[in-house]
Chain A
Amino acid sequence: MNDTEKTYRFEDQRDTIYKVNPEHPETATLPLQRTEELLLNMGPQHPSTHGVLKVILELEGERLVKSTPVLGYLHRGVEKLAEDGTYHQFIPHTDRLDYVCAMYNNFAYCRAVEKLMNITVPERAEYLRTIVAEVQRIIGHQFWLGTQALDIGAMTVFFYTFRDREILLDWFDELCGARLTTSWYRIGGVERDLTPSLIAKLRAFLDYFPPKIDEYQVFLEKNRIWLARTKGVAVISAEDALSFGLSGPTLRGSGVDYDMRKHNGGYAAYPNCDFNVPVGKNGDTYDRYWIRVMELYESVKIVKQCLDQMQDGPIMANVPSVTLPPKDRVFTNLDSMIQQFKLFSQGFDAPPGEIYCGTEAHKGELGFYIVSTGGGKPYRMKIRSPSFIHMGAFDHMSRGYMIADAVTIFGTYDIVMGECDR
């Protein structure tokens, strides 16, 4: 060791050696100037992580150098559970994936099983499914907008969006008896029809709601803090977004016009509806916010058109070996009761094969990959959950931004950990 150059060894994990300038020996006693990356654990119990999520942030000053998400705190083994139940029995499990938007999970799952069983759903059921799915999309985006604004510090928006969300949750309550864990979709159709009272309430809401969307925007669009915290934050290019498998508004924010409701002919009643798919330009948090707000208007348009176009008809496909009998017949007719009992205890015989069916949920592409070897239970079921895949891009999207932006980046995915960890 050189005498003129004192070296000090700090006993930390990185075993760093700091040199002291011999002309200023006083700094040797005050070793304050040292540069190293700081590791910071954010979570698992953090109010802005939308569930239990830990992220290990490597910091240089206040800048994020690298971030490592630690997932799995909400892992319940849903894919393993699916292998032990019949296809019908799995529907309530899908409610618990993304517990904020249960209807869309039901929808995505039922669509996947219908593809496996090659069932065509009656037209009225398709319209009902589209209406409820779009109502669920409105709820999801309201929830996202309220919590994202709350994370950034704009508290007022939260109260406004949750006030309107309550109306729709009460509407769900009247529709199926539950506000969040709905289980209203069935393989081959839906559980029950809309009553005149429900239709009247929904129409009243559709008239009430669009001015309220303008109101949400008034709070945010000219709010300097909101703009500073969202514009130019978490930018991702279209190519990277595709390569990471991002979907939904997170992908469209980067300028990729990809929406499964329009892509490849669409599904359910979407091909009969006239609506736009908003697409962003810059791929930043603000564009993703703008897309979600515009989708609120589009959802209102879709629901209105569906209500106008919908004709009377059956709400469940008539495939007795697969679909459930009407509930009123189950209690009065012996055959229907036996059918119901057999379908729930043994399930139906699925053909051997494998399918993947993706559905445009409000977070992104929610897909089910089902492998069947025949029999009443799926051999393997894989859930492609958008939240999990979006978390894969978190490190890429957060590099170089400030600590406080980490919060807005979780938010911009519209992440729900129940779906992420499954």
Chain B
Amino acid sequence: MHPLAERIKREFPDGFVDAVEWRGDLAVTVRPAALHAVAMFLRHDPEIDCDYMVHVSSVDWPDDEERFEVVWEVASIRKRHRIRLKTRVPESDCLVDSLTDVWHGANFMEREVYDMMGIRFRNHPDLRRILMPDDYTEGYPLRKDFPLQGKGWRDTFEFLNEKA
């Protein structure tokens, strides 16, 4: 196992789920309850020192019991390593801790995840839609059950109706 993953496993034996290393990328999955503590550890531990927020993303696995996967990729500029931190949440309770207080950049990126996948973030300072319109109520576009052509948004434009 990668030494960083081993370190996380040793510090958080209950929160650690698994670690995968593929094509040189390290991905560590943790339980949602331990997420914030693991993030604080990655940020403040002098040996790991992940000071750089790379991106926040999410993946939808509709067939799984824990449907959504939220991904934070963080890096250390000084120590030159990257870690992908992941957690899984079920659809009935898709709420995870926000990491905005650990890395400022998570603010906008988590808003995007909320907008696109409908995952809510606990203690997020400003959880609103960011790319879709504020009053958009037809769901979350990047979920797998959302059709590629959208849900009727086009029909609300009058000129399109006239042609049809």
Contact = CB atoms under 8 A, between A and B. Distances in A.
Interface of A: 71-72, 75, 77, 79-81, 83-84, 115-116, 118, 239-240, 242-246, 256, 258, 263-264, 353-356, 358, 365, 367, 369, 371, 379-380, 382, 384, 388-389, 391-393, 396, 421-422
Interface stretch (B5-13, B34-42, B50-58, B155-163): B50-58
Given A243-B53, A367-B55, A392-B105, A72 B132 contact: yes
B107 to A, nearest CB: 6
10 contacts: A72-B129, A242-B53, A243-B103, A245-B54, A245-B105, A354-B25, A354-B27, A356-B84, A358-B54, A382-B55
Interface residues of B, number: 35
B22 A389 contact: no
Contacts of A79: 116, 142
Contacts, number: 100
B130 A356 contact: no
10 nearest A-B pairs in the assembled complex, by CB-CB distance = A392-B108, A245-B105, A245-B53, A72-B131, A382-B57, A384-B55, A244-B105, A75-B131, A243-B104, A242-B51
A80 B131 contact: no
Interface string B124-163: 0000011111000000011000101000000000000000
A353 B77 contact: no
Interface in B49-92: 51-55, 57, 59-60, 71, 73, 77, 80, 82, 84
Given A242-B53, A243-B51, 7 more contacts: A71-B131, A81-B148, A242-B51, A354-B27, A358-B54, A369-B57, A389-B109
B2 interface: no
B102 to A, nearest CB: 8
Nearest to B143: A80
Contacts of B103: 243-245
A244 B56 CA distance: 12
A409 to B, nearest CB: 16
B105 A118 contact: no
